[in-house]
C-alpha cells in the first residue's frame, strides 16, 4: 500500500481544517491560541505524513496530537495564570436574556475545567466521538473517559447552579 | 434542563463563525521549514563543537608531547642548569633486562660506528620505512617529515652495546644512540663535541649539550646507571632536539 503524499496533506487540511480549528478553539478557549496550536499539531503531523498509510484516516492521528498539545500547553501555562491573575473572577450580573446567559456561562465554566476534562467533554459532545474513540484520542482507558465526562458534567452543573441562582433559574 | 444538549448548543454557538484561514497549509509548511532550518543549524553547531573538541587532542598529538611529561610542552634547549634533577642516576643500580621492542632486542647486529664517536658523521641513506610507523617503543617522538633510514643497528663492542636509529628528511636528520654497558660514569663519556658542553636536563636528569662542527646539535645523558642516550639532530630537527630527547624512554 502506498504512502501519503504532500498533495493529500493539502486536501486533508482543506477538508478538515475548519473542524479541527473549532475543536481546538473549544479546548483552548481563545481563537489565537487555537490557531497556533492547530498549526503546531498540523506541522507535527506533516513531519510524519509520508509514513501514514494512504488508505487510513489521518484525522484521529491529528486529533490526538492536537489534544495532547492542548493539555500540555494548559499544564505549562497553569503556573503562569496562577501567578498573574491575582484579581477575583467576575461575578455574574442579572440579565434579561437568560438563555444567552446560560450558554455563555456554560462556556465560561467549560473553560475553567481542567484541560483533560475539557478535552473529554469537547470530544464527546462536540465531536460526537464514542467513549472508545475519545479514549483513543486521549490515550487513556474508556473508564477514565467515563469518569472524566461524568465529573466534568457534574462540576458544570454544580457551578451553573451557583452562578445562575442570582438570575432566578 | 438537559445539560448535555445545552452544552452542545453552547459549543456550536461559540464556534459558529470559526473557520480556518486559507493560508493554513502555507503557514504549516513555513513552520515546518523553519523548524528544519533550526534543526540543521543546531546540528551544524553541534558538529562544529564536536569537531573542535576532537581537533584539540589531535592538535596536541600533532605537537606530540610525550604522555605525562609536562617538560616537553615547550621545545627549547635552554632548560636552566640550576634546575634540580628529579631522578639523579644512582650508581650501583642494575640496568633493566632488554625486552622485545627494547633496544638491542631482535635487531640485526650489523657493525656500526658509535654515533657520537665521529663528529660530522651523518646517518646513512634514506630507507623505506616511515618515521611514525617504524618507531621503536622506546622512542615516542620524531618530528614529521623524517623517514627512518632503516632498522635500528646494534653494534656490540666488548663491554658495550650501542643501538643506533636514524631518520632523515629534506630539512634535516635525527640520530638516536642508546649505549649500554659498564664504564659509563656520566653524560660526558658520551659527548664528542668540541668545546665546553652546556648543561641541561632531560626529564629531570642532568644532560650535556653541544654543537658539532657540522652544525648538528647533540645532547647526551645517562637514563639510568649503565644506560646512556645520545640524540643528534641537524637542520629543522635541531630545534626540536629537546622534545625528541624527552621522548626517549629506554
For B85-114, the pLDDT digits (tens) are 444 444 444 444 444 444 444 444 333 334
Confidence of residue B155 (pLDDT cuts 50, 70, 90): confident
Contact flag B14-A26 (C-beta cutoff 8 Å) = yes
Tell me whether strands B205-211 and B153-157 are parallel, antiparallel or unpaired: unpaired
Spell out which residues of chain A touch residue B15, defining contact as CB-CB under 8 Å. Answer: 22, 25-26
What pLDDT, in 10s, does the model give residues A21-61?
Answer: 999 999 887 788 889 999 999 999 999 998 888 888 899 99
Is residue B120 pLDDT above 70, yes or no?
no
Contact flag B14-A25 (C-beta cutoff 8 Å) = yes
Average pLDDT on B155-178 reads: 88
Closest-CA residue of A relative to B34 is A43
Spell out which residues of chain A touch residue B20, defining contact as CB-CB under 8 Å. Answer: 13, 17-18, 20-21, 38
Spell out which residues of chain B touch residue A17, defining contact as CB-CB under 8 Å. Answer: 19-20, 24
- What does the block give as the cell for B41? 543549524
Q: Do the Cβ atoms of A142 and A132 come closer than 8 Å? A: yes
What pLDDT, in 10s, does the model give residues B184-194?
Answer: 888 877 877 77
Closest-CA residue of A relative to B17 is A22
How far apart (Å, rounded) are the C-alpha atoms in residues A57 and A128?
17
Q: Is A15 on the interface with B (CB under 8 A)?
A: no
- Assign A58 to helix, strand or coil: coil
Spell out which residues of chain B touch residue A39, defining contact as CB-CB under 8 Å. Answer: 24, 27-28, 31
How far apart (Å, rounded) are the C-alpha atoms in residues B116 and B120?
9
How far apart (Å, rounded) are the C-alpha atoms in residues A12 and B138?
72
User: B167 in the Ramachandran plot: left (φ > 0), alpha (ψ -120 to 50) or beta?
Assistant: beta
What are the C-alpha distances in Å from B164 to residues A115, B14, B92, B130? 82, 95, 25, 16
pLDDT at A169: 47
- What does the block give as the cell for B238? 635541531
pLDDT at B34: 94
Comparing C-alpha atoms, which of A52, A109, A36, A83 is closest to residue B3? A109
**ipTM of the modeled complex:** 0.78
How far apart (Å, rounded) are the C-alpha atoms in residues A94 and B60?
81
Is residue B204 pLDDT above 80, yes or no?
yes
Confidence of residue A132 (pLDDT cuts 50, 70, 90): very high
pLDDT at B90: 44
Q: Quote the mean pLDDT of chain B.
A: 74
Spell out which residues of chain B touch residue A24, defining contact as CB-CB under 8 Å. Answer: none
Share of chain B above pLDDT 70, in %: 70
Is residue B218 pLDDT above 60, yes or no?
yes
Q: Write the DSSP string, B45-99.
A: HHHHHHHHHHHHHHHHHHHTPPTT-GGGSS--S---TTSPPSSPPPTTPPPPPP-
What torsion do the CA atoms of A11, A16, A18, A23 make, to the nearest 10 degrees? -150
Is residue B250 pLDDT above 80, yes or no?
yes
Contact flag A43-B21 (C-beta cutoff 8 Å) = no
What pLDDT, in 10s, does the model give residues A69-107?
Answer: 998 888 877 655 554 444 555 555 555 566 667 788 888
Residue of B233 and A82 predicted with greater confidence: B233
Least confidently predicted of A153-167, B62-76, B135-149, B213-227: B62-76
Comparing C-alpha atoms, which of A126, A39, A55 is closest to residue B9? A126
pTM of the model: 0.50
pLDDT at A160: 81
Size of interface A-B (CB pairs under 8 A): 78
Share of chain A above pLDDT 70, in %: 80
Most A CBs within 10 Å, among B1, B3, B5, B7, to test the A interface: B7
Q: Do the Cβ atoms of B154 and B180 come closer than 8 Å? A: no
Share of chain B above pLDDT 90, in %: 17
Amino acid at each position: 500500500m502506498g504512502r501519503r503524499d504532500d498533495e493529500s496533506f493539502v486536501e486533508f487540511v482543506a477538508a478538515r481544517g475548519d473542524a479541527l480549528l473549532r475543536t481546538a478553539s473549544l479546548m483552548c478557549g481563545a481563537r489565537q491560541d487555537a490557531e497556533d496550536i492547530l498549526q503546531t499539531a498540523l506541522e507535527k503531523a506533516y513531519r510524519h505524513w509520508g509514513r501514514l498509510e494512504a488508505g487510513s484516516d489521518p484525522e484521529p492521528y491529528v486529533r490526538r496530537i492536537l489534544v495532547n498539545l492542548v493539555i500540555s500547553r494548559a499544564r505549562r501555562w497553569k503556573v503562569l495564570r496562577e501567578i498573574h491573575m491575582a484579581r477575583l473572577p467576575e461575578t455574574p450580573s442579572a440579565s434579561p436574556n437568560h438563555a444567552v446567559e446560560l450558554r455563555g456561562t456554560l462556556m465560561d465554566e467549560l473553560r475553567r475545567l481542567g484541560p483533560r476534562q475539557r478535552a473529554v467533554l469537547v470530544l464527546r459532545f462536540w465531536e460526537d466521538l464514542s467513549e472508545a474513540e475519545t479514549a483513543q484520542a486521549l490515550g487513556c482507558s474508556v473508564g477514565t473517559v467515563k469518569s472524566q465526562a461524568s465529573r466534568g458534567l457534574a462540576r458544570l452543573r454544580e457551578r451553573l447552579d451557583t452562578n445562575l441562582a442570582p438570575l432566578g433559574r | 434542563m438537559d445539560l448535555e444538549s445545552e452544552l452542545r448548543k453552547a459549543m456550536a454557538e461559540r464556534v459558529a463563525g470559526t473557520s480556518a484561514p486559507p493560508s493554513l497549509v502555507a503557514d504549516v509548511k513555513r513552520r515546518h521549514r523553519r523548524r528544519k532550518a533550526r534543526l540543521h543549524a543546531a546540528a551544524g553547531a553541534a558538529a562544529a563543537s564536536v569537531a573542535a573538541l576532537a581537533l584539540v587532542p589531535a592538535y596536541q598529538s600533532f605537537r606530540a608531547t610525550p604522555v605525562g611529561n609536562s617538560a616537553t610542552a615547550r621545545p627549547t634547549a635552554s632548560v636552566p642548569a640550576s634546575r634540580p634533577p628529579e631522578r639523579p642516576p644512582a650508581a650501583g643500580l642494575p640496568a633493566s633486562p632488554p625486552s622485545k621492542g627494547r633496544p638491542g632486542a631482535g635487531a640485526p647486529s650489523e657493525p656500526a660506528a658509535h654515533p657520537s664517536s665521529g663528529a660530522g658523521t651523518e646517518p646513512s641513506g634514506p630507507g623505506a620505512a616511515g618515521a611514525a610507523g617504524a618507531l621503536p617503543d622506546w622512542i615516542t617522538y620524531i618530528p614529521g617529515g623524517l623517514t627512518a633510514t632503516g632498522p635500528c643497528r646494534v653494534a656490540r663492542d666488548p663491554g658495550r652495546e650501542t643501538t643506533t636509529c636514524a631518520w632523515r628528511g629534506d630539512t634535516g636528520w635525527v640520530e638516536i644512540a642508546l649505549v649500554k654497558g659498564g664504564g659509563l660514569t656520566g653524560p660526558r663519556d658520551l659527548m664528542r663535541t668540541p668545546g665546553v658542553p652546556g648543561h641541561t636536563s632531560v626529564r629531570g636528569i642532568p644532560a650535556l649539550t653541544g654543537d658539532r662542527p657540522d652544525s648538528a646539535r647533540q645532547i647526551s645523558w645517562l637514563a639510568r646507571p649503565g644506560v646512556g642516550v645520545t640524540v643528534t639532530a641537524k637542520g629543522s630537527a635541531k630545534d626540536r632536539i629537546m622534545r625528541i630527547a624527552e621522548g626517549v624512554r629506554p
